[in-house]
């Protein structure tokens, strides 16, 4: 239950390399000729590249002065990059860069809300927003290999825990942010409509629309923890900000691909409406935005163990196909129809041949060393008090990136110890490809739910 209680305490600044005394004044932190890592008591870890400099306010807001910083947030993070450029993040990692020519924010693991001269934009994971010194704003994707490297680097940073919301805050907004962030952690139980409404009320009390938008996106990935009424509340809240309609054309499918968690039906309906508006204005650009996204979405959900979500996406993509195809022509139409066909049927019309070629299996690439993935998986199972046996084994899963095959784990069910095998994806904290007593189960589940 979310408690709307405001309590007070001073924020503290802590450094991984050296202690930093508490201060009620702004504090400048520079890295010199070496990297410098520090953490903030509000749940933020920062890694400064050499020749980088930031200013930290007593409220733990970061003013970025120069260089490059990798930022990992357990709650909310607020970064001011000057010249009317501001970024807000929630429970994820981002990279910020600033020099004399431009300032850039890259969303790594969760959407970032960037504000440029009072205009908000959703920066999706894997995308960057750059503001040049002349005020030009550009949004673009990042190279896959580079993105994987940055995400791996962010996961190597320690998680700075949130302060307890009961330990006292001097600043009321800081207390609200902490309570809201605590609520938005992975839930073990179904989130009622009343608690979701309370969360939005708390976000509204902060007076920053970007924080409420981030909270709504975070709740959207908990679709399997929302009852029908609370799911409807989340979808309507995201839809309420019409200024982000264009951004959602990209943001909703990218959020789906990066989390591979079920999204509310209402959010998929909203996406169809947003695509319709965007296509009416510029069908060619909209088709280009969706290319390489819609074709893989249903299959990714099938592979992740969410067949129902895969079918919901196929239905939404089918609607988009019917609506957009008459607005396109030539090669644009052919490419778009091919994407739709792959999404709906697993192949494009031009891929049909008389003799089917033998299937070639491609081994996935892990972004983490296998030994570290196994160590992470073992640690998560120990934390969950899983019962190891003499036949428990761990090995790399060559069909799922950054996942580990686990067998020989016993779970207590009534009076019996039942053997399980599964793929554990420690970076996502998900259990997939579950077999109970050798019988395959249909869905992937969060590790907390699996051992609950």
Domain at 92, CATH number = 2.60.120.1440
SS3 label, residue 369 = coil
Do 330 and 198 fall within a single domain? yes
Do 227 and 295 fall within a single domain? yes
Tens-digit pLDDT profile for residues 67-104: 999 999 999 999 998 878 999 999 999 999 998 888 99
Share of the chain above pLDDT 70, in %: 88
What pLDDT is recorded for position 3?
Answer: 31
Tens-digit pLDDT profile for residues 345-390: 875 444 333 233 333 344 566 777 888 888 888 888 888 888 888 8
What pLDDT is recorded for position 57?
Answer: 86
Tens-digit pLDDT profile for residues 133-178: 888 899 988 888 888 889 999 999 998 988 875 555 446 778 888 8
Mean pLDDT of 55-77: 90
Please say if the pLDDT value at position 436 is more than 50: yes
Do 280 and 401 fall within a single domain? no
Please say if the pLDDT value at position 65 is more than 60: yes
Average pLDDT, the chain: 83
SS3 label, residue 446 = strand
Better-scored residue on pLDDT, 413 or 30: 30
Do 235 and 345 fall within a single domain? yes
Do 137 and 220 fall within a single domain? no
Do 343 and 196 fall within a single domain? yes
Tens-digit pLDDT profile for residues 249-269: 999 999 999 998 899 999 999
Do 120 and 217 fall within a single domain? no
DSSP 378-404: HHHHHHTT-B--TT-EEEE-TTSTT-E
Domain boundary among the residues 156, 175, 209 is at: 156
- Whether 438 maps to a domain, the answer reads yes
Report whether 176 contacts 205 (CB < 8 A). Answer: yes
Do 205 and 341 fall within a single domain? yes
Confidence bin at 109 (pLDDT 50/70/90) = very high
- Whether 177 maps to a domain, the answer reads no
Please say if the pLDDT value at position 279 is more than 90: yes
Number of domains in the chain: 3
What pLDDT is recorded for position 363?
Answer: 52
C-alpha pair distances (Å), 238 with each of 206, 243, 266, 270: 17, 11, 10, 9
Please say if the pLDDT value at position 22 is more than 60: no
Report whether 268 contacts 312 (CB < 8 A). Answer: yes
What pLDDT is recorded for position 120?
Answer: 92
What pLDDT is recorded for position 11?
Answer: 31
Do 204 and 327 fall within a single domain? yes
* 25 Cβ contact partners less than 8 Å away, ≥ 6 residues apart: 58
- Whether 358 maps to a domain, the answer reads no
- Whether 432 maps to a domain, the answer reads yes
Strand partners, 411: 418
- Whether 170 maps to a domain, the answer reads no
Tens-digit pLDDT profile for residues 228-251: 899 999 999 999 988 899 999 999
Residue 429 belongs to domain spanning: 370-450
Please say if the pLDDT value at position 51 is more than 80: yes
Give the separation between CA 101 and CA 266, rounded to whole angstroms.
42
C-alpha pair distances (Å), 79 with each of 85, 349, 387, 409: 9, 47, 43, 44
Give the separation between CA 337 and CA 123, rounded to whole angstroms.
27
* 202 Cβ contact partners less than 8 Å away, ≥ 6 residues apart: 2, 4, 176, 179, 180, 183
Domain boundary among the residues 317, 350, 383 is at: 350
Element (H, E) at 202: helix 193-205
Do 76 and 125 fall within a single domain? yes
Strand partners, 29: 54
Do 24 and 151 fall within a single domain? yes
Please say if the pLDDT value at position 113 is more than 90: yes
- Whether 6 maps to a domain, the answer reads no
- Whether 178 maps to a domain, the answer reads no
What pLDDT is recorded for position 114?
Answer: 94
What pLDDT is recorded for position 360?
Answer: 39
What pLDDT is recorded for position 384?
Answer: 81
Do 198 and 334 fall within a single domain? yes
Domain boundary among the residues 306, 322, 350 is at: 350
Q: Categorise residue 408: left if φ over 0, alpha if ψ from -120 to 50, beta otherwise.
A: left
Please say if the pLDDT value at position 15 is more than 60: no
Tens-digit pLDDT profile for residues 200-221: 998 888 888 888 999 999 999 9
Token pair listed for 334: 């052919």
Give the separation between CA 90 and CA 215, rounded to whole angstroms.
8
- Whether 179 maps to a domain, the answer reads no
């Amino acid at each position: 239950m979310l408690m709307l209680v405001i309590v007070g305490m001073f924020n503290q600044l802590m450094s991984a390399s050296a202690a930093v005394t508490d201060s009620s004044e702004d504090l400048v932190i520079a890295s010199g000729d070496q990297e410098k890592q520090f953490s903030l008591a509000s749940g933020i870890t920062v890694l400064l590249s050499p020749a980088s400099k930031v200013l930290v306010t007593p409220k733990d807001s970061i003013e970025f002065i120069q260089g490059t910083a990798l930022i990992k947030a357990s709650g909310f993070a607020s970064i001011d990059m000057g010249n009317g450029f501001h970024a807000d993040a929630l429970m994820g990692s981002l990279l910020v860069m600033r020099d004399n020519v431009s300032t850039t924010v890259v969303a790594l693991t969760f959407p970032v809300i960037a504000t440029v001269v009072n205009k908000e934009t959703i920066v999706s994971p894997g995308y960057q927003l750059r503001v040049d010194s002349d005020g030009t704003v550009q949004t673009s994707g990042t190279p896959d290999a580079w993105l994987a490297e940055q995400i791996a680097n962010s996961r190597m940073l320690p998680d700075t825990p949130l302060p307890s919301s009961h330990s006292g805050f001097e600043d009321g907004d800081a207390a609200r942010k902490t309570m809201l962030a605590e609520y938005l952690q992975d839930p073990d139980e179904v989130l009622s409509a009343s608690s979701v409404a309370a969360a939005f009320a708390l976000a509204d009390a902060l007076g920053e629309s970007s924080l409420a938008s981030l909270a709504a996106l975070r709740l959207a990935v908990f679709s399997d923890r929302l009852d029908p009424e609370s799911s409807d509340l989340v979808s309507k809240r995201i839809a309420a900000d019409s200024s982000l309609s264009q951004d959602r054309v990209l943001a909703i499918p990218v959020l789906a691909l990066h989390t591979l968690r079920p999204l509310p039906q209402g959010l998929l309906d909203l996406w169809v409406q947003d695509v319709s508006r965007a296509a009416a204005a510029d069908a060619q650009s909209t088709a280009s935005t969706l290319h390489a996204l819609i074709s893989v979405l249903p299959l990714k959900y099938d592979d992740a163990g969410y067949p129902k979500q895969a079918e919901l996406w196929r239905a939404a993509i089918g609607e988009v196909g019917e609506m957009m195809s008459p607005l396109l022509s030539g090669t644009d139409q052919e490419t778009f129809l091919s994407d739709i066909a792959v999404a709906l049927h697993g192949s494009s019309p031009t891929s049909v041949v008389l003799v089917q070629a033998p299937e070639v299996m491609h081994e996935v690439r892990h972004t983490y060393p296998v030994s570290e993935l196994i160590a992470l998986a073992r640690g998560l199972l120990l934390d969950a008090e899983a019962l190891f046996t003499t036949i428990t084994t761990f090995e790399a899963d060559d069909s799922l990136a950054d996942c580990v095959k686990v067998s020989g784990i016993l779970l207590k069910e009534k009076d019996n110890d039942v053997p399980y095998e599964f793929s554990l994806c420690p970076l996502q904290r998900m259990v997939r490809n579950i077999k109970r007593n050798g019988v395959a189960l249909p869905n992937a589940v969060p590790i907390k739910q699996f051992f609950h």
